[in-house]
Amino acid sequence: MPRRSLQTSLLNGAALCGLMLCAIGIPEATAFTDAPEGFKPLFNGRDLSGWKGLVGNPKTRAAMPPEELALQQKKADASMRAHWSVVDGVLVFDGKGESLCTASDYGDFELYVDWKILKGGDSGLYLRGSPQVQMWDTNFEDYYRHGAENGSGSLWNNQRNPRFPLQKADKPVGEWNTFFIRMVGERVTIRLNDQLVVDNVVLENLWERELPIYPRGQIELQNHGNTLYFKHLYVREIGSEEANTLLAKNEAHHYASIFNGRDFSGWKGELENYDVVDGSFSCKEGKGGTVFTEKQYADFSARMEFKLPPGGNNGLALRYPGAGYPHVDGLELQVLDSEDPQYAALDPRQYHGSVYGLVAAHRGYLRPTGEWNFQQVTMRGSKIKVELNGFTILDSDLSTVQESKDGAVPPGAKNQSGHFGFAGHNDPVSFRNLAIRELPGEPAEPPSRETAISPKGGPIKLFNGRNMDGLYTWIKDATWSDPNKVFTVKDGLLHISGNGYGGIITNQAYRDYHLILEFKLGDKTWAERVDRARDSGLLLHCWGPEGGYGLTWMASIEAQIIEGGVGDILVLTGTHPETGQVFPTTLTAETTKDRDGELVWKKGGDPATISAGRINWFGRDVEWADTLGFRGREDVESKHGEWTRMEVIADGGHLLYKVNGVVVNEAIAAKPDFGKLLLQTEQAEMFVRRFELWPLGQAPEDELQQD
């Protein structure tokens, strides 16, 4: 299961994936006998040269005195040779020792690995010594509780970022699989057997959760007590210039240049203290002062490359009013050679990437002086996020800061807008490729509906009755993890405990279908809805980021499931949680109004177009109350404890809702007219036994069966 990061907010699909692969320049996968162009072999096919045994983890190894580390490494190498061997050009692990590790460390890189497991196999790849890119027998039922049915390629230890793959691309157990892995900064892209399964997703630091992943580390072939096979391992290190180019490509179309590389057009301030040198904006040595854009910005994301000389010091002026000191009258983000000895005694809130005097950034992610660094700074409201060379080094809400290093929080910290610029401090620090994206920006546009799947020749079973293959969960406050096991499969049923808000979502987007959902609401209700009407829902045409609607669901059109209101239409226009970009959703329906002025579907009624709100099903009781067990006089859903069949016929922008065979609601001109599907958890227990899509005109009219 997936998913895309919040920044990658469009729908996935075969055509879209193909376009993305071209855009990011991943080389074609091949079965190699020799290293592909630009790559070096990690395994020579003859012996274990270039490999070592596993000692601890990155955190514990860093804490060991050199003598102890050498001793532990000697023991680990002996164990490695006892359990890892080379047989007919293949690395073979007998399942009884520890992981195999590269002798060298790697920063940004591309990697090819051929791997094979046996029945019940379970392994993984550690990147920079950090777990893990998951590999396993995806048909082994004992692993279903861990989500194995979703395929290999999981970033298994992720909690805040997508965990499961976009699609299942494994070959049958016993056959060779090929991973292509690219890692730039903290983000990982993976193709398995030439299919995109992980798309630029953050790999979290298991060993030190509060930190980004380490900038360098070894590659490990994980032991999990199984016989394993590896061959054709090749690596290519990515240099800083190439890494910067790759980082700049992400959503580049949203950014507008603010420096032409030739002169200071569009800038003002103490420009006499700066030069344009080889397309860069450079502070003169021994000079300083503040220079800034003529234009002011409120919420924005700024990108740039910068280069520090030894001991170099400068700063980014954010929301600067045009006069005064950037760190007092606006905000100053440090640009500093933090590791120079002269800065050893600074306050932590003065090192590179820190909001000067207010919030400390993580250290250790700068490139060596003289190399170009890539940095992105996002400000929205009081929130600020700083990404350096692909690593998130600061993510903070300034409204929570109570004091500065010098006392009270300066007034500029509350500025809502201002100029963007540089605060020079007498050092020849250079900047180039300066660009800004104003937020929230224009409303998002869905991709082509051709990227979505339409059922052909028979049903697509979205729930197979055995596991959650093809589905993934997203829970408010837990994101892509499900720590409370809200969604489980037992006795052929999908059980939704209701303990929380969120949903289970299809990996794929769909269009033009006849959907059949058979559900019954359970007895358990939770928290603030413990005595309220049992509530859930089916979201159609989902698009944009998870959490895009109320930090909980996706932009979508809902087929409501609530006691007394099964079949209501709700329109959920979404907003990107980080950028504020709108993901619009609209539809038109023929309506009348009830006693309370609420819209109610009426065939032949007045057309109403909405981008938010609800259109009640035709028989919703005007005395409806949000109380546990409510049942209206004309309700057509089954009684509590019995199965109800909901059908949705989605034909382009036309939506028709049926409940137990009765047409209860209808809409036209739905936009978007395709997307993912989501079953909600909304503080009420629900069971699902049938969740499938049929080609239009081919859905069966079988009789609804009760238990």
pLDDT in tens, 556-609: 999 999 999 999 999 999 999 999 999 999 999 999 999 999 999 999 999 999
| 79 and 212, same domain (yes or no) | yes
What is the rounded distance in angstroms from the CA atom of residue 156 to the CA atom of residue 7? 20
- Asked whether residue 699 is domain-assigned, the answer is no
User: Pick from 173, 206, 238: which residue ends a domain?
Assistant: 238
User: Pick from 238, 267, 294: which residue ends a domain?
Assistant: 238
| Average pLDDT, rounded, for the chain | 94
DSSP codes joined into one string, 243-274: HHHHHHHTTGGG-EES--SSS-TTEEESGGGE
Q: Residue 17: is its pLDDT beyond 60?
A: no
Per-residue pLDDT tens for 322-331? 999 999 999 9
Which residues contact residue 389 at a Cβ distance below 8 angstroms, ignoring those fewer than 6 apart?
A: 185, 215, 240, 243, 247, 365, 366, 367, 373, 374, 375
- Asked whether residue 1 is domain-assigned, the answer is no
Q: Assign 33 a pLDDT band (cuts: 50, 70, 90).
A: low
Per-residue pLDDT tens for 442-474? 999 999 999 999 999 999 999 999 999 999 999
Q: Does the model's pTM come out above 0.85?
A: yes
Query: Residue 590: what pLDDT?
Result: 98
What is the rounded distance in angstroms from the CA atom of residue 471 to the CA atom of residue 482? 13
Q: Residue 59: is its pLDDT beyond 70?
A: yes
- Asked whether residue 5 is domain-assigned, the answer is no
Average pLDDT of the residues in 550-561: 98
| 482 and 391, same domain (yes or no) | no
Classify residue 478 by its DSSP letter: T
Bridge-partner residues for 473, per DSSP? 504
What is the rounded distance in angstroms from the CA atom of residue 198 to the CA atom of residue 192? 9
Packing angle of the helix pair 14-24, 240-249 (nearest 10 deg): 140
67 membership: H or E segment, kind and range: helix 66-83
| 433 and 343, same domain (yes or no) | yes
Q: Are 664 and 560 in contact (CB under 8 A)?
A: no
Average pLDDT of the residues in 383-400: 98
Average pLDDT of the residues in 511-531: 98
Classify residue 337 by its DSSP letter: -
Q: In what order do the strands lie in the sheet with 418-425?
A: 267-269, 288-297, 418-425, 313-320, 331-336
Query: Residue 35: what pLDDT?
Result: 80
- Asked whether residue 178 is domain-assigned, the answer is yes
- Asked whether residue 654 is domain-assigned, the answer is yes
Average pLDDT of the residues in 366-387: 98
User: Pick from 180, 212, 238: which residue ends a domain?
Assistant: 238
Q: Which structural domain, as residue segments, surrounds residue 82?
A: 14-238
Query: Residue 365: what pLDDT?
Result: 98
- Asked whether residue 543 is domain-assigned, the answer is yes
Burial of 477 per CB tally in 10 Å (0-12, 13-18, 19+): exposed
Average pLDDT of the residues in 429-433: 98
Pairing mode, strands 612-615 and 187-192: unpaired
| 530 and 576, same domain (yes or no) | yes
CATH code at 259?
Answer: 2.60.120.560
Query: Residue 34: what pLDDT?
Result: 73
Q: Are 85 and 92 in contact (CB under 8 A)?
A: yes
- CA nearest to 395, candidates 6, 1, 3, 2: 6
Which residues contact residue 671 at a Cβ distance below 8 angstroms, ignoring those fewer than 6 apart?
A: 584, 585, 586, 587, 653
Percent of the chain with pLDDT over 70: 95
Average pLDDT of the residues in 397-424: 97
| 542 and 629, same domain (yes or no) | yes
DSSP codes joined into one string, 127-155: ETTEEEEEEE-TT-GGGGGGTGGG-S--B
Q: Assign 405 a pLDDT band (cuts: 50, 70, 90).
A: very high
- Asked whether residue 443 is domain-assigned, the answer is no
What is the rounded distance in angstroms from the CA atom of residue 281 to the CA atom of residue 303? 14
What is the rounded distance in angstroms from the CA atom of residue 17 to the CA atom of residue 2? 14
Please tell me the total count of domains within the chain: 3
What is the rounded distance in angstroms from the CA atom of residue 16 to the CA atom of residue 18? 5
| 68 and 203, same domain (yes or no) | yes
520 membership: H or E segment, kind and range: strand 513-525
Residue 68 sits at φ, ψ, to 5 deg, of -70, -40
| 399 and 470, same domain (yes or no) | no
Average pLDDT of the residues in 215-239: 96
The CA distances from residue 517 to 152, 453, 535, 645, in Å, are 29, 18, 16, 6
Query: Residue 518: what pLDDT?
Result: 98
Q: Over the Cα atoms of the chain, what is R_g?
A: 28
- Asked whether residue 625 is domain-assigned, the answer is yes
Average pLDDT of the residues in 97-114: 97
SS (H, E, C) 168-216: CCCCCCCCCEEEEEEEECCEEEEEECCEEEEEEEECCCCCCCCCCCCCC
Average pLDDT of the residues in 270-280: 96
What is the rounded distance in angstroms from the CA atom of residue 557 to the CA atom of residue 549? 11
| 190 and 109, same domain (yes or no) | yes
| 370 and 482, same domain (yes or no) | no
| 429 and 495, same domain (yes or no) | no
- CA nearest to 567, candidates 489, 662, 686: 662
| 425 and 514, same domain (yes or no) | no
Bridge-partner residues for 392, per DSSP? 387
| 151 and 76, same domain (yes or no) | yes
